[in-house]
Amino acid sequence: MAKKLVIAGGGHAHMTTLENLHRFVERGHQVTVIGPSDHHYYSGMGPGMLGNTYAPEEVRFATRQVVEKQGCIFIRDKITGIDGEGQNVRLESGDTIPYDVLSCNLGSQVPRRIIAGELEDIYLVKPIERLLAAQRRIVELGRQKSIRVGIVGGGPSAVEIAGNVWRLIQDSKLRPAQIKILTKSTIMPNHREGIRKRAVDSLKKRGIVIHENCETDRISTGKISESNGKTHDLDIIFVAIGITPNPVFADSGLQVGMDGGMLVNRYLQSTAHDNIFGGGDCICFQDKPLDKVGVYAVRQNPILLHNLLARLEGKELQPFEPGGRYLLIFNLGDGTGILNKWSIQIGGRLAFMAKDYIDRRFMKRFQRIE
Ligand SMILES: Cc1cc2nc3c(=O)[nH]c(=O)nc-3n(C[C@H](O)[C@H](O)[C@H](O)COP(=O)(O)OP(=O)(O)OC[C@H]3O[C@@H](n4cnc5c(N)ncnc54)[C@H](O)[C@@H]3O)c2cc1C
């Protein structure tokens, strides 16, 4: 019997499902995809887009087009609530969309608790499309004066953002700028010493200042305040202080894990409602917490596709195996990168070339349907 499948968010874990929506339609099911934008931006190339290495068209998927081309419905809206008992999702517009099976890939967001006021000249590193707005503003201001750019956070995103802001300023021939990172502990504290050293050396060599042991407790337009009372006046502020799963699950009273992500079993199925599935940063995998990296979202793709079809048709579900260590490559913005897997570390142009090749191949695969 024909059923209603709702795809909530067209993120990295839904790529294969979106590519195969026609298979649901062929079986008579009605598919609705809901997302706040007609496009989904690939985070792995986001900092490169900020630095102008990639044009926006090279780093985004045309979600609406892919969906409509296969005879499905795309609703440009945000999901604000999930009613697991009533089997419907609530949208920001006030509409309610019913489902038989729901799949959530609603991503994560940067916490705003230390930000006061509006996000004027303040750029959270997610959603990725905000980096495009940041790029335009930096170019606009940087043509008029020497700007001061601050990046709060010390993880890989902060490093990639700093390096790519530097690149943008160089390539756009803007006035000389000050770029500083303010990090609570050190740069990339969760990475090996060799990786950290490569990142620090690369940034310092280009004049990017790193303030370590700097506890930011308030960010407002033009200003960062440390808990010790010290302040930093800045023109542009990026906030890269980590991410938390989309709060819609906790707000809707669904079962969530320690990090607030929707709690799912090994079938990527909500532990509370067996007709709700999910992947990517918005879930908490019950067997073992997974790092919030796109790698896991990508690995979940075939399982989500299989399990959605199986759940609609009463067939057997497949378990998700997270797999072993994953490859990480950071884009430092000067044409070099840092590659790390197991104990292997490679720095320099080769590392960036490997990242560029892998990222472009990923985009090509899922963009080809446009
Ligand atoms: C700057 C930066 C660089 C990164 N680089 C890498 C990297 O190189 N490699 C790597 O593995 N990881 C990287 N990551 C981590 C990576 O971004 C995440 O792990 C990845 O984005 C998770 O994918 P996702 O699809 O779950 O979430 P997202 O990419 O956030 O996608 C969520 C989707 O849901 C939609 N959505 C959000 N809210 C709603 C709503 N209420 N209703 C409907 N739709 C909604 C969004 O529009 C989006 O399309 C990076 C992160 C950042 C911030």
Our answer on whether the CB atom of 242 is closer than 6 Å to any ligand 1 atom is: no
Using CA of residue 247, residue 249, residue 252, residue 258, what is the dihedral sign? negative
For residues 251-276, average pLDDT: 98
201 Cβ contact partners less than 8 Å away, ≥ 6 residues apart: none
Q: Which atom of ligand 1 is nearest to the CA of 80?
A: 41
pTM (two decimals): 0.96
Task: Judge whether residue 348 has pLDDT over 90.
Answer: yes
Burial class (CB in 10 A: 0-12, 13-18, 19+), 83: middle
Task: Judge whether residue 369 has pLDDT over 60.
Answer: no
What spacing in Å lies between the alpha carbon of 247 and ligand 1's midpoint?
Answer: 14
pLDDT digits (tens, 9 = 90+) for 56-84: 999 999 999 999 999 999 999 999 999 99
pLDDT digits (tens, 9 = 90+) for 125-179: 999 999 999 999 999 999 999 999 999 999 999 999 999 999 999 999 999 999 9
Mean of the per-residue pLDDT values of the chain: 97
Residue found by looking up tokens 């419905």 in the block: 73
Spatial contact of 104 and 262, defined as CB atoms under 8 Å apart: yes
CA distances to 252, 331, 365 from 336, rounded to whole Å, are: 44, 7, 25
Our answer on whether the CB atom of 164 is closer than 6 Å to any ligand 1 atom is: no
Q: Which residue, judged by its Cα, is nearest atom 51 of ligand 1?
A: 43
Our answer on whether the CB atom of 130 is closer than 6 Å to any ligand 1 atom is: no
Q: Which atom of ligand 1 is nearest to the CA of 246?
A: 38
Residues carrying CATH 3.50.50.60, the chain: 4-36+77-109+243-326, 122-242
Q: CATH number of 122-242: 3.40.50.300, 3.40.50.2300, 3.10.450.200, 3.50.50.60?
A: 3.50.50.60
Cα–Cα nearest to 15, from 261, 300, 357: 300
CATH number for the segment(s) 4-36+77-109+243-326: 3.50.50.60
- In what helix (H) or strand (E) does residue 88 lie, and over which residues does it extend? strand 88-91
Q: Given pLDDT bands bounded at 50, 70 and 90, which one contains residue 1?
A: confident
For residues 284-302, average pLDDT: 96
Choose the residue to mutate in 14, 32, 43, 131 for probing ligand 1, maximizing ligand atoms within 8 Å of C-beta: 43
Task: Judge whether residue 370 has pLDDT over 60.
Answer: no
**Angle at which helices 193-205 and 156-171 cross, to 10°:** 20
Listed in order, strand segments (DSSP E) in 145-279 are: 148-152, 178-182, 209-211, 216-220, 223-226, 231-233, 236-239, 244-245, 262-264, 276-278
What spacing in Å lies between the alpha carbon of 11 and ligand 1's midpoint?
Answer: 6
- In what helix (H) or strand (E) does residue 357 lie, and over which residues does it extend? helix 349-367
Beta-carbon neighbour count of residue 150 at 10 Å? Answer: 26
CA dihedral 33, 293, 299, 5 (to 10 degrees): -20
